[in-house]
């Protein structure tokens, strides 16, 4: 529970594959952003924190400069700046759309408040966030390049942020919006026999892991497998986690409201 608040926090992740066109560099999916802002506004859940992914903004640039292995040479310095800059551009579109729908959204830059150690969050200044919740703001964070105490810099995925925020702020629910209906027994985009899993425990997830596909397009933080790896600690912590298709109208709305919805519920 966030101190001073009577309700528990909801953490919403909007996948980069939904809010951007992952096949076309630096191309937002403005229609999806607009629809999702409307759904979030209609759901009227508070307190709420939003985290979005990089999609065709952060990932191709981070890959071009080889940022995922940390600092190797000075040619990457500009790459860090550009990756961060494109992420802020995407973030502005999301925040702008939320504000247009009357949500008091505020950008929070991970690169300015998180330090990682070998890619894992080592410290995060969360006092501004706590104050924002207390005052009714909706902070909007994103996967970002951040400074790393061992490797100079690192790529911090939105999923690692989601899990860490949810645990530190004792969230009630995590809603993860992706571009498929949830977790499948294979890759639903290429395998017609892949079956949607409506409910899974951590124990069952362990057996399924060899079947879960990594993402096919450029995703420097590991696609669906990476997502599961990051979400597990939050689920272990007892936080209800649901993966839904954010590309389908009303799924995010229903998940935020705690209504029955097509998706995958992951539980301890
Ligand atoms: O899309 C990665 O965030 P994600 C962000 O949540 C960058 O994995 C900078 C590639």
Write out the chain's pLDDT in tens, 268 residues. Answer: 677 777 899 999 999 999 999 899 999 999 999 999 999 999 999 999 999 999 999 999 999 999 999 999 999 999 999 999 999 999 999 999 999 999 999 999 999 999 999 999 999 999 999 999 999 999 999 999 999 999 999 999 999 999 999 999 999 999 999 999 998 887 777 888 888 999 999 998 888 777 766 555 456 666 677 888 899 999 999 999 999 999 999 999 999 999 999 999 999 9
- Residue 152: CB partners within 8 Å, gap ≥ 6? 70, 71
143 lines ligand 1 (CB under 6 A): yes
Q: Break the chain down into helix, strand, coil percent, rounded to 5.
A: 40, 25, 35
The tokens for 140 are: 């909007």
Separation of CA 226 and ligand 1 centre (Å)? 11
Instruction: With CA atoms as reference, report the closest residue to 14 among 161, 124, 112.
Output: 161
Q: With contact defined as beta carbons under 8 Å apart, do 79 and 67 qualify? A: yes
Flag whether the pTM goes above 0.85: yes
In angstroms, the CA 265 to CA 194 distance is 17
In angstroms, the CA 210 to CA 205 distance is 10
The tokens for 264 are: 């995958």
87 lines ligand 1 (CB under 6 A): yes
Q: What's the length of the chain? A: 268
20 lines ligand 1 (CB under 6 A): no
Q: With contact defined as beta carbons under 8 Å apart, do 106 and 50 qualify? A: no
* Ligand 1 atom showing the smallest separation from residue 226 Cα: 8
Burial of 188 (0-12, 13-18, 19+ CB in 10 A): middle
């Amino acid at each position: 529970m966030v101190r001073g608040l009577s309700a528990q926090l909801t953490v919403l992740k909007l996948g980069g594959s939904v809010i951007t066109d992952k096949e076309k560099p630096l191309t937002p999916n403005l229609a999806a952003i607009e629809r999702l802002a409307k759904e979030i506004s209609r759901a009227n859940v508070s307190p709420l924190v939003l985290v979005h992914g990089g999609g065709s903004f952060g990932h191709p640039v981070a890959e071009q400069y080889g940022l995922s292995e940390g600092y190797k040479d000075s040619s990457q310095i500009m790459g860090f700046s550009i990756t961060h800059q494109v992420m802020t551009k995407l973030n502005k579109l999301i925040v702008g759309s939320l504000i247009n729908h009357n949500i008091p959204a505020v950008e929070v830059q991970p690169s300015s408040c998180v330090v990682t150690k070998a890619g894992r969050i080592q410290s995060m200044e969360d006092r501004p966030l706590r104050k924002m919740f207390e005052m009714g703001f909706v902070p909007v964070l994103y996967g970002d390049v951040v400074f790393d105490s061992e490797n100079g810099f690192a790529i911090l995925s939105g999923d690692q942020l989601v899990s860490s925020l949810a645990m530190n702020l004792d969230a009630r629910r995590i809603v993860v919006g992706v571009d498929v209906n949830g977790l499948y027994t294979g890759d639903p985009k290429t395998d017609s026999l892949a079956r949607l899993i409506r409910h899974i425990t951590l124990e069952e997830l362990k057996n399924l892991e060899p079947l879960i596909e990594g993402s096919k397009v450029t995703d420097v933080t590991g696609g669906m497998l990476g997502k599961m790896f990051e979400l597990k600690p939050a689920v272990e912590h007892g936080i209800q986690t649901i993966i839904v298709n954010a590309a389908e109208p009303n799924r995010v709305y229903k998940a935020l409201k705690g209504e029955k919805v097509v998706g995958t519920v992951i539980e301890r």
